[in-house]
Amino acid sequence: MLRKIIPPIASAARNFSICELPAHLQELQKTCHSFADRELKPVAAELDRDARFPAEQIAKLADLGLMRVTVDPEYAGSGLNMLALSLVVEELSRGCGSTGSIVSIHNCLFANLLNRVGAEEQKQHFFGKYSNNSIGVFALSESDAGSDVAALNTKAQREGDFWILNGTKAWVTSAKEAQYGVIFATVDTDLKYKGITAFLLDFDNATGLTVGPNEDKLGIRATSTCNLHLDNVRVRSSNVLGSIGGGFRLAMEQLDRARIGIASQALGIAQAALEAAVGYAEQRIAFGQPLLKLSSVQTRIAEMALRIESTRLLVRKAAVEIDRNERSTKACSMAKWFAGETATFAAHNCLQIMGGMGYVKNMPAERFYRDARITEIYGGVTDVQKTIVAEQVIEQLKGR
């Protein structure tokens, strides 16, 4: 298993160089690169076409320790950091955007959150009860509470040693396949964000929990995206994650980490688009020479490469700031914003280089384009990221 091959290194963030990854992370990167080529690329189009969850591939990733990348070893985790997780998601997304999304969201939004702030008995229960290839969800958004998290309306009412949850959570990734998750609800809507509380939930014995139909999406079609309907779902008080009213802070902290995951997914899609464009342009003959020789094609490739390299630096900077416990909100939002736009830009240019062939489904360019678009939307739309960056920059400059 990967966690045995690559031991956790506490000083990884301190040892990180902008030019070279530490040896154990280089090995991790190679492992995931090889897995993407061998296990994901050959089936990515089929998974997308059939909107089929990659169960076999997820099981193999779990065997490698990649479904609990940042979880402590005593809970069957690999004990690595956010920089490591970023590398994992980037390389897997290069092979299949959907698989990268599943691994990213489970690791960044559920497993890391439980490991980071869960009580000992909570971690023993949830990590111990479920196998490594189990999926956890993060149910925060609602139909009328996406970017405006404080407007959520799912209610939690105290009843003895239980909390009773009622409401509907929207856009829950991997909801169909999940065995457990964290549900955000408010104990008092009048308190706005101060009433939001996080609840850990076992799905297998949650009477009153219903998973809605899978959304028919433009991209990342091998992931399920469903509503969760909660009708008098009972949650033990011992399964409150953090404190009553502390859920908003937890959600915001975790969304910083999620944005690194989404940025890494976008980066992997962009890299796949660049590689596909170069591979096609090398073989395709036009005007008596390979497309790769045309200056217009070279310009597109150069622009793609520049944005990808710039994105990679932003993503790794954000991950390292998280690992150093530094204030990282600005870096995470910058990385997510720029990475999403880079993925769409690279996919667009890949399709343009391939021309008509890029528009057909037996070539990967159109899938890259569809998969890329979500990276500018979920985890906070690009406009929200710009607002966050502006607020952070203004605050920092005013504080000088």
What's the rounded mean pLDDT across residues 18-39? 93
Would the pLDDT of 13 be above 50?
Answer: no
Would the pLDDT of 14 be above 50?
Answer: no
What's the rounded mean pLDDT across residues 24-34? 97
Burial class (CB in 10 A: 0-12, 13-18, 19+), 150: middle
Shared domain check, 122 and 19: yes
- Assigned domain for 382 exists: yes
Tally the domains of the chain: 3
CA-to-CA dists, residue 131 to 9, 39, 70, 101, 142, angstroms = 25, 21, 16, 20, 29
pLDDT digits (tens, 9 = 90+) for 277-327: 999 999 999 889 999 999 999 999 999 999 999 999 999 999 999 999 999
Shared domain check, 336 and 218: no
Shared domain check, 159 and 103: no
CA-to-CA dists, residue 243 to 199, 329, 389, angstroms = 10, 22, 28
Specify the pTM: 0.94
Residue 334 contacts residue 311 (beta carbons within 8 Å)? no
Would the pLDDT of 385 be above 50?
Answer: yes
Domain CATH for 150? 2.40.110.10
Shared domain check, 20 and 69: yes
- Assigned domain for 1 exists: no
Helix, strand, coil percentages for the chain (3-state, nearest 5)? 60, 15, 25
Task: Tell me the pLDDT band of 147, cut-offs 50, 70 and 90.
Answer: confident
Shared domain check, 74 and 200: no
Question: For the chain, what percent of residues have pLDDT higher than 90?
Answer: 91
Task: Tell me the pLDDT band of 386, cut-offs 50, 70 and 90.
Answer: very high
Residue 81 contacts residue 328 (beta carbons within 8 Å)? no
Q: Go through 33-59 and write b for each residue having 16 or more CB atoms within 10 A of its CB, e for each that does not.
A: bebbeebbeebbeebbeebebbeebbe
Shared domain check, 191 and 165: yes
- Assigned domain for 345 exists: yes
Name, in order, each residue with C-beta under 8 angstroms of 219's C-beta and a sequence gap of 6 or more. Answer: 97, 367, 369, 370, 371, 372, 373, 374
Shared domain check, 266 and 368: yes
pLDDT digits (tens, 9 = 90+) for 390-400: 999 999 999 87
- Assigned domain for 67 exists: yes
What's the rounded mean pLDDT across residues 48-62? 98
Domain CATH for 22? 1.10.540.10
Side-chain-side CA neighbours of residue 156 (13 Å)? 27
**Full residue range of the structural domain in which residue 220 is found:** 136-247
pLDDT digits (tens, 9 = 90+) for 313-333: 999 999 999 999 999 999 999
Shared domain check, 313 and 181: no
Burial class (CB in 10 A: 0-12, 13-18, 19+), 119: middle
Pairwise CA distance, residues 177 & 320, whole Å: 31
pLDDT digits (tens, 9 = 90+) for 92-120: 999 999 999 999 999 999 999 999 999 99
Radius of gyration of the chain from its Cα atoms, rounded to whole angstroms: 21
Task: Tell me the pLDDT band of 12, cut-offs 50, 70 and 90.
Answer: very low
Pairwise CA distance, residues 163 & 57, whole Å: 36
